[in-house]
Amino acid sequence: MTGMRSRRETGRFGIAGADTAGTGVTDGSNRQLRWMPPAERKRKMKIGIGSDHGGYALKQAVIAYLEEKKIPYHDYGCYDEKSVDYPEYGKKVAHAVKNGECDQGIVICGTGLGISMAANKVRGIRCALCTDCFMAEMARMHNNANMLALGGRVIGPGLAVKIVDTFLNTEASTEERHVRRVSMIEAEDDDQ
């Protein structure tokens, strides 16, 4: 579609990178953020975190990092290593990000695969499974990812915390080509 964007592209999610003040920054979910300096935004940021049993142990390491950095978070479960279904937790966190309860989400299962797939079913969610810091940086810069997925049976806590730190400290690019591509992700299939 050329020219004016359809309501589907603009109405429910906002276009990442085009807020009402015209400053070029949104969180890419269904809500638009007024522009604020990155340091201030970080202080106000609330993280939603969730895992299944396969990601539970790694989630504790990530929570320890969030607490150390005094980053507010809400843990959407699970709360022990009893076997549970990862889609429930992926979607819980995704809905919290979508409805604005949280600014960004972190989800962890054994591989990070299932829980990221579940999260990505929620409209407006761009959940990136990352196994290194470069992926985390690009996921924020180029894809304006609003959720990060990790694999508790894939990476150790040291790397996981570095990935989380990179993800939370990288701003989405406001360059037109990246903003355009993210809005293309959000466009519904039948628009094409």
Using CB under 6 A as the binding rule, whether residue 14 contacts ligand RB5 is answered as no
Where in the sequence numbering do the catalytic residues fall? 109, 142
Report how many residues bind ligand RB5 under the rule CB under 6 A.
8
One of 14, 54, 105, 124 touching ligand RB5 (CB under 6 A): 54
Does the footprint of ligand RB5 cover residue 114 (CB under 6 A)? yes
Residue 104 contacts ligand RB5 per CB under 6 A: no
Chain residue whose CB lies nearest ligand RB5: 114
How many angstroms separate the CA atoms of 147 and 129, rounded? 9
Q: Which member of 111, 120, 144, 166 binds ligand RB5 (CB under 6 A)?
A: 111
Instruction: Choose between 14 and 54: whose C-beta lies nearer to ligand RB5.
Output: 54
Q: Is 109 in the site for ligand RB5 (CB under 6 A)?
A: yes
What CA–CA distance (Å, rounded) separates 172 from 19?
13
Q: Does 105 bind ligand RB5 (CB under 6 A)?
A: no
Q: Which residues are at the interface with ligand RB5 (CB under 6 A)?
A: 52, 54, 86, 109-111, 113-114
